[in-house]
Chain A
Amino acid sequence: QKEVEQNSGPLSVPEGAIASLNCTYSDRGSQSFFWYRQYSGKSPELIMFIYSNGDKEDGRFTAQLNKASQYVSLLIRDSQPSDSATYLCAAGGTSYGKLTFGQGTILTVHP
């Protein structure tokens, strides 16, 4: 069973802090990794993706990938209450176009 695992949380951080969201995957054939944000009652929206080991930064968001450890993370700097949402990690690359999603981590940023 190809799995993507996330801590369901909730993860609570104060406004202005760094939120760290983690994800592990079991299929070593996975080549690409995606982070989606989902507000309550809404659909998932893509935040960023990463293919190569190391860090990838986009504004306040940094994705980190370590293929040897089969570990992906998303850092959110200067967290804002508007970042409060469920964050979904997804892995792809083993079958054309298909993604395997984790169960999501609930993030709460409190003022």
Chain B
Amino acid sequence: DAEITQSPRHKITETGRQVTLACHQTWNHNNMFWYRQDLGHGLRLIHYSYGVHDTNKGEVSDGYSVSRSNTEDLPLTLESAASSQTSVYFCASSNDRGAETQYFGPGTRLLVL
């Protein structure tokens, strides 16, 4: 069955380290999104992509980057991890016919010490 996966599911890192969170979907969706979820803030959009080689900044993009080299993957990189980036990160995808109907991955819980 088609699905969307994220890895790792849990990550502990130190301040200043570079961290990459993986997102992989097998639905062949063009649209992919990265969110962070924090208590009291709901889901906030970090970056998104509408297709290969396309990336766009969301509302909380500072300190994060993404690249899209194929349809299936949108890795999220924290260039220099900060304690404020401790959060739960969700990846989502959607197809072009229902672009706003997003399907979420299981999430990655990141702790920055």
Contacts and interface: CB of A to CB of B under 8 A. Distances in A.
Give the residue among B102, B103, B106 with the most A Cβ atoms within 10 A: B102
Nearest to B91: A43
Contact of B105 (A8, A43, A101, A103): A43
Interface of A: 8, 32, 34, 42-46, 49, 88, 90, 92-93, 96-99, 101-104
Contacts of B107: 42-43
Q: How large is the interface on B (under 10, 10 to 19, 20 to 34, 35 or more residues)?
A: 20 to 34
Interface string B27-51: 0000101010000111111001010
A44 B90 contact: yes
Give the residue among A34, A43, A88 with the most B Cβ atoms within 10 A: A43
Given A42-B106, A97-B50, A34 B100 contact: yes
Give the residue among A49, A98, A102, A103 with the most B Cβ atoms within 10 A: A98
Interface string B90-106: 10001000011111111
The secondary structure that dominates the B interface is: strand
A32 B40 CA distance: 23
B43 A44 contact: yes
A68 B81 CA distance: 44
A98 B48 contact: yes
B40 A43 contact: no
Contact of A104 (B42, B44, B100): B42
A93 B33 CA distance: 16
Give the residue among A34, A42, A44, A93 with the most B Cβ atoms within 10 A: A44
Contact of A99 (B50, B100, B103): B100
Contacts of B50: 96-97
Given A43-B105, A44-B90, A88 B42 contact: yes
